[in-house]
């Protein structure tokens, strides 16, 4: 079954359900499939000084690339929330050119990818896309305002009437009736506008241990008794920020996607069980085209006893 237009195929009774209460598949570090092994190292901080060493960059690439397919393929697969981390490369000759990042910078610039998303949104008007922009790396004080204003103006000029302004109770029907299908969350309080949504809380376990991840997620989800805004339940494991990272990155024949693939089926079983107990909104993961991730998340909307 194709999930390229799954929102338009939901039962009629869900068309007037708040988007905050639908269960929506999302991708964690959505642009990490495009990381450039030749870029400088951004994180972890302890390795920045080794940016000139190719093998170090190669290791970071192996363990920072959390997605395997490009943006259009993620959209076609049914992903509707995108975790987009923005950065400016130091010494770039273009004063307003921006890229994405996760450990390294991407090959492709922000404007090119947003244009790709816009093209897809135009051909799928009933699929609501949520773009979460955050982690503004390299936005130094002297140029930050210029970069933010340029990016925001580009977003408004690109998506135009498709942008859904911030509102109290967005629903599929409201979006469809008004020709809106792009929501942009901008994680910077100084640049909030009516057309931009505030930061979307992303709950995650901050661990490589599935038991610790689910324990932290359970604790966070218990607080969401009556959700009145978007929130993300991140199934993604997180590498240690200390020397414990060596336990993983020194595995010559392993990679972060492989680690995720081995654990994702169990994480999805947990999500199905947890959905019966607490509200769930956006569920985000790495390697989103694996393990029936999208199918499992979308079908949670059809479960009896869905909280509204």
Active-site residue list? 28, 102
Instruction: Compute the C-alpha angle 223/198/192, nearest 5°.
Output: 155
For strands 231-234 and 282-285, give the pairing: parallel
Coil, strand or helix at 64: helix
The answer to whether 59 and 9 are in contact (CB under 8 A) is no
The full DSSP string for 212-244 is HHHHHHHHHHTT-SS--S-EEEE------SSGG
Cα separation of 126 and 5, whole Å? 8
- Name the E strands within the chain: 24-27, 81-87, 99-102, 104-109, 129-137, 182-186, 201-203, 231-234, 282-285
Nearest 5°: phi and psi at 171? -135, 165
Give dist(CA 123, CA 282) in Å, integer. Answer: 23
Q: Are 230 and 187 in contact (CB under 8 A)?
A: no
């Amino acid at each position: 079954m194709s999930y390229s237009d799954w929102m338009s195929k939901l039962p009629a009774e869900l068309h007037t359900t708040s988007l905050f209460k639908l269960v929506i598949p999302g991708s964690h570090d959505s642009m990490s499939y495009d990381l450039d092994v030749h870029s400088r190292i951004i994180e972890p901080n302890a390795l920045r000084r080794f940016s000139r060493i190719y093998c170090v960059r190669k290791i970071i690439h192996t363990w920072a690339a959390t997605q395997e397919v490009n943006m259009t393929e993620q959209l076609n697969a049914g992903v509707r929330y995108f975790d987009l981390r923005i950065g400016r490369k130091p010494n770039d000759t273009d004063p307003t050119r921006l890229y994405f990042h996760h450990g390294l910078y991407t090959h492709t610039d922000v404007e090119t990818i947003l244009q790709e998303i816009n093209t897809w949104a135009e051909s799928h008007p009933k699929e609501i896309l949520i773009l979460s922009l955050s982690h503004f790396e390299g936005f130094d004080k002297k140029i930050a305002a210029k970069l933010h204003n340029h990016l925001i103006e580009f977003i408004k000029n690109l998506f135009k009437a498709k942008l859904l302004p911030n509102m109290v109770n967005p629903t599929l029907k409201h979006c469809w009736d008004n020709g809106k299908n792009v929501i942009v969350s901008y994680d910077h309080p100084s640049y909030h506008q009516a057309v931009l949504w505030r930061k979307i809380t992303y709950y995650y376990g901050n661990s490589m241990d599935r038991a610790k991840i689910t324990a932290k997620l359970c604790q966070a989800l218990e607080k969401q008794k009556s959700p009145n805004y978007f929130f993300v339940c991140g199934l993604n494991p997180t590498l240690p920020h200390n020397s414990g990272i060596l336990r993983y990155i020194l595995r010559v024949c392993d990679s972060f996607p492989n680690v995720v693939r081995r654990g994702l089926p169990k994480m999805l079983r947990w999500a199905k069980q947890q959905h019966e107990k607490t509200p769930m909104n956006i569920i985000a993961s790495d390697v989103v085209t694996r393990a029936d991730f999208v199918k499992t998340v979308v079908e949670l909307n059809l479960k009896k006893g869905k909280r509204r």
